[in-house]
Amino acid sequence: MTGGHDVKVEGAKASSRARFLLRGALLLLAVVFVALGTWQIQRLFWKLDLIARVDARVHAAAVPAPPRPDWDSITREKDEYLRVTATGTFNHDKSVLVQAVTERGAGFWLLTPLHREDGTMVLVNRGFVPADRRGRADRAEGEALGSTGVTGLLRISEPGGAFLRSNDPSGDRWFSRDVAAIATAKGLTDVAPYFIDADATPNSGGLPIGGLTVVSFRNSHLVYALTWFALAGMSVGGVYIVRRRSTSSH
């Protein structure tokens, strides 16, 4: 009889330890989930502030594109989508086509270096060219000559290429607007570390088509936060259930 009683006592102690460890694990998970939810709330306010700042830049009056002395201080957070102007002469011989998918279908962005009056150059994304009009002769009417003014959005270089598709400078195949790589491939010097997405000002002949820049930011932080807080609530609920069952078993 004594041996059987001892086994039951030991079993009860083991069960009690297991429930204690389970409650501890659930409480730890709840703390972690709350921390993750709080972090997502912080990210949410950061993203909302970023969206507001970018929206203000997009709709603000255009300012001169950053000159050479300011190039080193340009950042994505501070300058991208700033509305800018630039004046110079296009070098159409050095243009590149970058694969693109837009609201008008698949085709290419036409990037052309603009020789500015201060001697520097900036790549200008003049706009979209449909795949069946990629030949220079098919869009020759849109090649602006002489001193030309450009208004558009400042964009930060896109190095490397696109998802699973690397730029191929030697083959003149481009999947991202990599300023440094394009400048090297085309023998350009003193090139700004950004490019300009031209606005919707029409070009002769209708091509290229500017003003197709999509300014959007994925913002799922609230959904993530609610998910983490829900998991925290479930963990706390699990602690309550384990404790209740532990109490009812005594």
Residue 160 above 70 pLDDT? Answer: yes
Q: How far apart are CA 10 and CA 15, in angstroms?
A: 9
Q: Which residue bears the tokens 């300014």?
A: 215
Residue 8 above 60 pLDDT? Answer: no
Residues 42 and 7 in one domain: yes
Query: pLDDT tier at 150 (50, 70, 90 boundaries)?
Result: very high
Asked whether the bond before 67 is cis by omega within 30 degrees of 0, the reply is no
Q: How far apart are CA 58 and CA 41, in angstroms?
A: 26
Per-residue model confidence (pLDDT) at position 228: 85
Residues 173 and 236 in one domain: no
> Is residue 91 in a domain?
yes
Residues 95 and 200 in one domain: yes
Per-residue model confidence (pLDDT) at position 41: 83
Q: In the predicted model, what is the mean pLDDT of the chain?
A: 87
Q: What is the pTM of this model?
A: 0.71
> Is residue 76 in a domain?
no
Tokens of 85: 């102007």
Q: How far apart are CA 198 and CA 135, in angstroms?
A: 20
Q: How far is residue 162 from each of residues 26, 115, 158, 175, 196, measured CA to CA in Å?
A: 42, 27, 9, 6, 19
SS3 123: strand
Residue 11 above 80 pLDDT? Answer: no
Which residue range is the domain that position 225 belongs to? 2-52+219-248
Q: How far is residue 1 from each of residues 4, 9, 25, 136, 250, measured CA to CA in Å?
A: 5, 12, 36, 99, 21
Exposure letters 188-226 (e unless 16+ CB within 10 A, then b): beebbebbbbbbeeebeeebbbbebbeeeeeeebeebbe
Per-residue model confidence (pLDDT) at position 55: 74
> Is residue 57 in a domain?
no
Per-residue model confidence (pLDDT) at position 56: 72
Residues 100 and 176 in one domain: yes
pLDDT tens, residue by residue, 199-234: 999 999 899 999 888 666 676 878 888 898 888 888
Domain of residue 186, CATH code: 2.40.50
Mean pLDDT to the nearest integer, 56-80: 90
> Is residue 160 in a domain?
yes
Total structural domains in the chain?
A: 2
Which among 202, 196, 208, 217 has a CA at the least distance from the CA of 104? 208
Task: Say what percent of the chain tops pLDDT 90.
Answer: 52
pLDDT tens, residue by residue, 21-43: 888 888 888 899 889 888 888 87
> Is residue 214 in a domain?
no
Per-residue model confidence (pLDDT) at position 97: 97
**Contact criterion met (CB below 8 Å) for 112 and 123:** yes
pLDDT tens, residue by residue, 93-111: 999 999 998 888 999 999 9
Residue 153 above 60 pLDDT? Answer: yes
Residue 1 above 80 pLDDT? Answer: no
> Is residue 36 in a domain?
yes
Per-residue model confidence (pLDDT) at position 115: 97
Tokens of 217: 């930011």
